[in-house]
Structure 1
Amino acid sequence: MASSSAAATGNAAAPTPETLQAVLVKLSDPAVPTAEKTKLIVDGEKRTANIDQMNKGLAGYTLTYAVADITTQGNTATAQVTITSPHGAVPPMPLSWENVGGTWKLSDASGCLMLGFAQAPCVPA
């Protein structure tokens, strides 16, 4: 229902869980080059060194994501995300995305949270 109200107000259409999940999957795929991953995070070019470090740490390590309970306000979407690794799942946590030029990107704060989980921490700007 949020998508119809978001569209009616002229804001970005609410993203689907699959859209947001695809950002996380691509971000944590060690085969995706850093230059492509910087486009997945708001101001991601500031996080190049962190992403390089994350890529090294995730080699041979598979993560899966479940995205639920999306709320959209203006050009920001927040969802509860459960991350599952070979060691188990973490409890659902809120992550946020921003619609930049028609593309949903992980917010800088959420990007830093994800990089921190991958032993490549950064401090949000």
Structure 2
Amino acid sequence: MRNVTRTLRVSVATVAALAAVTATVTACGSDDKGSSSSTTTVSAAAAAPAPTAEALQSVLTAFADPAKPAADKAKLVVDGDKRLGNIETMNQGLAHYQVTFAVGEIKQDGTKADAKVAVTSPHGTMPDVPMAFQYSDGAWKLADAGACTVLGMARAACQ
């Protein structure tokens, strides 16, 4: 019972300290003595510019380019180093195979974006393929799920 009481006291003290910090930060929102205080919230969406269809299409085109080394392609994927083996397999499979992409509807949520992509190959076009992207290291990249979608199409599926 003693440990529970001690834990409860620590939790209450932690909440009180956080409330005090929050109140202090909120009160510092304005230096203008004539105006009411205000707060500024920096959201993840503000830190990530809106992705354009051209930018996302450029990432996909570079990712599917069989002439591009796997190490370069890994940089186009969030945590892409873990997919190097898959990318090398894809490069071999795409050596004499052309794939193009047309990015359509894009929905952004902070540093993540989902797009509907038309994928065209010698076998035809697959419309509205869902593709996931993420803003990382100052650029829009394929999220791991997006990379796995492309890799799966190239018979280099993620496991």
| TM more than 0.5 | yes
Question: Which residue number in structure 1 is paired with residue 127 of structure 2?
Answer: 91
Higher-Rg member (1/2): 2
Higher helix share: 2
In 1: Cα distance, 2:116 partner to 2:127 partner: 9
Give matches, 1:1-125, under 5 Å: 10-123=46-159
Runs of 4+ deviating beyond 4 Å:
none
- 2:156 aligned counterpart, secondary structure: coil
State the 1:10 CA deviation.
1.8
1:14-58 Cα offsets, whole Å, 9 max, x none, are: 111010000110011000001100001111100011000000000
In 2: Cα distance, 1:91 partner to 1:101 partner: 30
- Under a length normalisation based on structure 1, what TM-score does the superposition of the two structures give? 0.88
Unaligned runs of 5+ in 1: 1-6
| RMSD, aligned α-carbons | 1.3
State the 1:117 CA deviation.
0.4
- Paired letter, 1:73: D
- 2:75 aligned counterpart, secondary structure: helix
In 2: Cα distance, 1:103 partner to 1:13 partner: 9
In 2: Cα distance, 1:38 partner to 1:22 partner: 15
In 1: Cα distance, 2:133 partner to 2:127 partner: 19
Report 1 or 2 for greater relative contact order, CA contacts < 8 Å, sequence distance ≥ 6. Answer: 1
- Paired letter, 1:120: A
State the 1:119 CA deviation.
0.6
- Paired letter, 1:59: A
